[in-house]
Amino acid sequence: MFNIEANLQADKQYDAIAIAVFDTTKPLQGTLLSLNDMLNGQIEALLKDGDVSTKKNKITKIHTLGHTHIKRLYFVGLGKQEKVSFTSVREAFGSLFKTLKAEKRTNIAIDLSTFSQDNLEWNDIAHALGEAIPTATYEFEGYKRKANVPDFSLESIEIIAAECDHEELKSALEVGYVYGKATNSARTLINLPGNMLTATDLAEYATTLADTYELELEILEKEDMQRLGMGGILAVNQGSVEPPKLIVLKYQGKETWDDVIAFVGKGITFDTGGYSLKPREGMVDMKTDMGGAATVLGAMEAIAELKPEQNIIAIIPSTDNMVSGNAFKPDDVITMLNGKTVEILNTDAEGRLVLADGITYAKQHGANYIVDVATLTGGVIVALGNDITGAMTNNEAWYEEVLEASLEAGEDIWRLPINDKFKDRVRKSKVADLNNSPGRDGHAIFAGTFLGEFAEETPWVHLDIAGTATTKSEYPLGPSGGTGAIVRTLVTLAERFGNNE
C-alpha cells in the first residue's frame, strides 16, 4: 500500500496531494513555497484571506486547474504549531481520510515533510498516519438489506519524505496500520448485537484468531468451571440459556513461560442487570458490555502480528446476565475460584464477579502482572466523563508502566484511589468474606477495590472503559459506536515492557 519517495517528482502527474498547514505567520517553506511559485502566489493569498483554513482538523481542497502536475491539493489544518503532538497529528490524518473517503479518492500522495516538527519524530508521524487510515475510514456494516457502508478502498498511498530512513519509516507506517486494524476488530465486536455475539460466538472468534496467528488456546466449558469452582462466572450465568465460556489465549514471546503479563477482559455479552433489573433506558446498548473482551482480543491480534519479546496471556470470562427462575439473587452467597465467599447485594454488579475469577485463573497460569479491562461502572463516567479511562492499582511501579504506555498510545487514563476505607466497605458482610456492592457513593472505586481482593499481591491495574469504549458521535478517528479504546495501550505496553526487559 505504501510507496515512499524522497521528493515530489516533477515529471509525474499526481491526482491529489495532502499538505499540512499551521496557524503561523512564518514565510512559506519547502513544498508550500514551491507550489505557491507554481500557482503564481495563489496559495499565499488563499492562506492570507482564510480560504485555506489552518484550524485544527480542517481540510481545504483546491483544484490547480491544470497549472501544475498536481490535480488537487488537500490542505490539512494542524492549528498552532507549538501545540502539535502525536495525538493531534493522528486526528488530523483522520479528518483527511474521512474527507478522502467521502470524495472517493483512492490514490493520494502525502507530503510528510510538511507535518514534520521539532517535537515529533518522523516515525511517530508515520505511525500516526498508519493508524489513522483504517480507523478513520471504518464503518460497521450492520444488517440492512441494502448495504449502508460506501464501497471504498484505497489503492495506493505515496509518501513524500526527505531526510529520513525510508525503511524505518515504512516499518512505522506498517506498525501503525496494524494498531489501527486491531482497533477496528475490537470496534466490530462491540458493535455486534447480543443475539449475534453470545459467549459461544466470542469463543469461536477467539478460536479463529488462535488458528490464524498460531496462538495457544484453551476454552473452559461450564462443566470445567463447576469442577474448578468458578463461582463468580457460574452465578452470573445461572439465569441464562446460553452456556458460559472462559477463553484463554497465550502468546509466548520468550523462550520460557515467565515474566507473564495477563490481560483480563470482561465478556458480558448482554447485561439486563439480573434481578437488580436495569431501567429501560439503561438496558439499551448493553450489547457493548463485552467491551473489555473486545479490547483484549483486538490487542492479541496486534501482538500476534507484531511479535514483541514478551509473554502475554489473555483471559476472557464470558456470559450474559439474564433474568429467569434460576438466576442468582440478592442475598445469595457464592464461593469464588480462590475460595473467598461473596455476599450478593446487587446482581447488576456482575462484571466484577466474572473478572475476579478471571484474575484468579490468570494467576494460576503464572501471571506476574495483570491488567483487567472492563465496561464496569457508570460511576466512572460520572467521575471522569466519556473521554478518559478510569484506572486503579495495587502497585505504583506497574501503574507507571501502564500509564507510560497509555501516554505513548495517546489514550488518556486517570487514576482513582483505593484506600483502607474502601477495602473495609468491600469486606463488610455478616455472612461472607466480601460483598459485591457496598453502595452508590464511589461505586466505581468499590468495583476496583473488589477486584484488588483477588489480585492480592500480584501487580495489577484495573482499567474501567465504561465511558471510553463507545461514543455517540462521529469523531476524526471513527464513527459513532465502538471505539476500540485501550487496544493501543495494551499493545504498546507489551512492546515497551518486552523491550525494557
Q: Which residues are part of the catalytic machinery? A: 278, 352
Tell me the backbone φ, ψ of residue 420, rounded to 5 degrees: -65, -30
Contact at 8 Å (CB) between 432 and 342?
A: yes
What does the alpha-carbon distance between residue 434 and residue 235 come to, in Å, rounded to a whole number?
15
Residue 85 phi/psi, 5-degree rounding, is -140, 175
Grid cell at residue 458: 500480584
DSSP alpha helices (H): ranges in 377-442?
379-384, 396-409, 420-426
22: helix, strand or coil: coil
Query: CA-to-CA distance for 328 and 325, rounded, in angstroms?
Result: 9
Residue 302 φ then ψ, to 5°: -65, -40
Q: How many Å apart are CA 195 and CA 436, to the nearest integer?
A: 28
Residues 6+ apart with CB under 8 A from 113: 30, 31, 160, 161, 162, 163
Is there a contact between 376 and 350 (Cβ–Cβ < 8 Å)? no
Pairwise CA distance, residues 345 & 353, whole Å = 12
Q: What is the DSSP letter of 365?
A: T
Number of continuous H segments (helices) and E segments (strands) in the chain: 16, 20
Going 209 to 452 to 253 to 255, the CA torsion angle's sign is: negative
